[in-house]
């Protein structure tokens, strides 16, 4: 049994239909049978339309649910066609919300939007999975750390409950590409983030995840990174078999 709490998040992106409940069911059965006493959080972020349906099927004691985004609406309900407030997400079964994913930044999320989303989600007591990460160009120019500092400083206000923030370091060039940074690079980034968050935000034990092409083969290498509390998994989380392999290989 492992003492360290490890978080595995399944980011389904624009994938998933009601029938895929069976994939979550398989994972829940595996967790229940094989990993019951391990210190872990398994969080599924399906498309928002499936949240309440999945949640009602009640694996909620074994897996938790989150949304992939939240809208900027100060009122919980109202005349905002197409938007989803933190309140609606929460009442639909979300305990977590992903904010600042690079795919959302690429489709228009600004620092200002992200900051506001974090503020509103935090007010509703949702746990925030805040994504940060540099582009390949930033990395090439040795600017990764500066980019991460900028993303954090422009989005996180000290007024919010910092205990509710999970940081997810996802190098953009690693997402969906099969490329994963080498251990030395990752260790440098995680050590930096850990001390930066402790020093500048007084977060005693920052929770920082890695995301980007995580799979059953590279999890063994990713497991050894200090200050890494878990993984944000996209493609390899869609099928129960692959997601289970990742979790299994992590613990074995």
Residue pointed to by tokens 């503020």 = 119
**Stretch of 19-27, 107-115, 119-127, 207-215 lying at the interface with ligand PGA (CB under 6 A):** 207-215
| From 20, 116, 124, 170, residue interacting with ligand PGA (rule: CB under 6 A) | 170
| From 203, 222, 232, 240, residue interacting with ligand PGA (rule: CB under 6 A) | 232
Is 170 considered catalytic here?
yes
Is 227 considered catalytic here?
no
**H or E segment and range at residue 23:** helix 21-34
Cα–Cα–Cα angle for 226, 228, 234, rounded to 5 degrees: 145
Residue nearest to ligand PGA (CB): 234
Residue 204: both structure tokens together: 């005693």
Contact assessment for residue 170 and residue 133, using Cβ atoms and an 8 Å cutoff:
yes
Residue 47 binding ligand PGA, by CB under 6 A: no
- β-partners of residue 97 are 67, 128
User: Comparing C-alpha atoms, which of 67, 31, 50 is closest to residue 250?
Assistant: 31
In the complex, the smallest distance separating the C-beta of residue 45 from ligand PGA, rounded to whole angstroms, is 9
- Among the options 101, 124, 134, 227, which is catalytic? 101
Whole-number Å distance between alpha carbons of 37 and 14: 32
Task: Scan residues 208-227 and list those touching ligand PGA (CB under 6 A).
Answer: 211-214
In the complex, the smallest distance separating the C-beta of residue 127 from ligand PGA, rounded to whole angstroms, is 16
Catalytic residue numbers, as ranges: 101, 170
**Residues binding ligand PGA (CB under 6 A):** 11, 170, 175-176, 211-214, 232-236
């Amino acid at each position: 049994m492992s003492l360290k709490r490890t978080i595995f998040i399944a980011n389904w992106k624009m994938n998933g239909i009601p029938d895929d409940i069976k994939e979550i069911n398989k994972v829940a059965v595996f967790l229940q049978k094989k990993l019951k006493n391990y210190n872990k959080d398994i969080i599924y972020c399906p498309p928002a339309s499936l949240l309440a349906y999945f949640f009602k099927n009640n694996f909620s004691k074994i897996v938790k649910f989150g949304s992939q985004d939240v809208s900027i609406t100060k009122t919980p309900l109202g005349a905002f066609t197409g938007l989803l407030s933190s309140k609606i997400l929460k009442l639909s079964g979300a305990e977590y919300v992903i904010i600042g994913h690079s795919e959302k930044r690429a489709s228009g999320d600004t620092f200002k939007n992200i900051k506001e989303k974090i503020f509103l989600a935090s007010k509703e007591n949702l746990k925030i999975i805040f994504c940060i990460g540099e582009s390949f160009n930033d990395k090439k120019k040795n600017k990764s750390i500066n980019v991460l500092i900028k993303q954090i400083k422009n989005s996180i206000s000290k007024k919010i409950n910092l205990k509710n923030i999970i940081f997810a370091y996802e190098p953009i060039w690693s997402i969906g590409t099969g490329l994963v940074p080498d251990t030395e690079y990752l260790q440098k980034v995680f050590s930096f983030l850990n001390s930066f968050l402790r020093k500048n935000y007084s977060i005693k034990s920052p929770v920082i995840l890695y995301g980007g092409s995580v799979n059953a083969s590279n999890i063994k290498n990713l497991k050894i990174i200090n200050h890494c509390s878990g993984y944000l998994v996209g493609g390899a989380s869609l099928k129960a078999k692959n997601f289970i392999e990742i979790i299994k290989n992590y613990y074995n």
